[in-house]
């Protein structure tokens, strides 16, 4: 155990791919995010759309999980999930959450905080209908975050709902989208000697963004 811990503690990486400064950054953080996400897509980094979602329960215990971004615009960041899952339950009690993108190959991290709301039923319906059939059946088959006896429960549920709905499963009432409306962004670019670039954007009362450099 001690040898393993020592080797982990000794891991090092020098970040030297790029720099990020106030002059080169966008005044609007959503535009900066759009730029970086498109660069991650162009670089073909693994799962550039994966983001960590952090929520807090009523007993103040935080939890995280990885979800996939499915859309973004001036209104915020969108993903879809089971409303009865742990994250759904926690968001119902405390609508504040945080997201994080980590594009390792580009030595970049984006952190986003804000309040979360459900997207409209029309938006959820439109996205649900675009999903592969197996994924639509899966939304019915999985009682997400609940204890189940074994994998056979999921397989049996999938067979049951597949037979029931055939090729046209409707969107489950417990499944749909969330939108995080950002009020705080942080963009982190790795730099040499641990002197990383870190810019924070904070939403102001007049809907403008205050851009500040933070020590790494």
Active site residues: 194
Closest C-alpha among 44, 60, 37, 66 to residue 187: 37
| 106: DSSP letter | G
Q: How many CA atoms lie within 13 A of 64 on its CB side?
A: 9
Is 59 exposed, middle or buried (CB count within 10 Å of its CB: 0-12, 13-18, 19+)?
A: exposed
Q: How far apart are CA 69 and CA 40, in angstroms?
A: 13
Spell out the residues 6+ positions from residue 172 whose beta carbon is closer than 8 angstroms to its own: 82, 139, 140
- Rg, C-alpha atoms of the chain: 20
């Amino acid at each position: 155990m001690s040898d393993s811990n020592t080797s982990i503690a000794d891991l090092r990486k020098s970040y030297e791919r790029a720099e990020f400064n106030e002059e080169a950054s966008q005044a609007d953080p959503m535009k900066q995010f759009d730029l970086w996400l498109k660069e991650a897509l162009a670089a073909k980094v693994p799962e550039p759309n994966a983001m960590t979602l952090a929520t807090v329960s009523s007993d103040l215990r935080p939890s995280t999980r990885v979800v996939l971004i499915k859309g973004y615009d001036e209104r915020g960041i969108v993903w879809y999930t089971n409303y009865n899952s742990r994250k759904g339950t926690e968001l119902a009690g405390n609508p504040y959450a945080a997201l994080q993108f980590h594009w390792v190959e580009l030595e970049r991290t984006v952190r986003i905080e804000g309040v979360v709301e459900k997207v409209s039923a029309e938006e959820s319906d439109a996205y649900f209908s675009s999903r592969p059939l197996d994924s639509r059946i899966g939304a019915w088959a999985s009682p997400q975050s609940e204890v189940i006896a074994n994998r056979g429960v999921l397989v049996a549920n999938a067979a049951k709902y597949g037979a029931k709905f055939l090729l046209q499963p409707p969107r489950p009432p417990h499944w749909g989208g969330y939108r995080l409306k950002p009020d705080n962004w942080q963009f982190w670019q790795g730099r040499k000697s641990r002197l990383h670039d870190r810019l924070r954007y904070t939403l102001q009362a007049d809907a403008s963004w205050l851009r500040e450099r933070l020590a790494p």
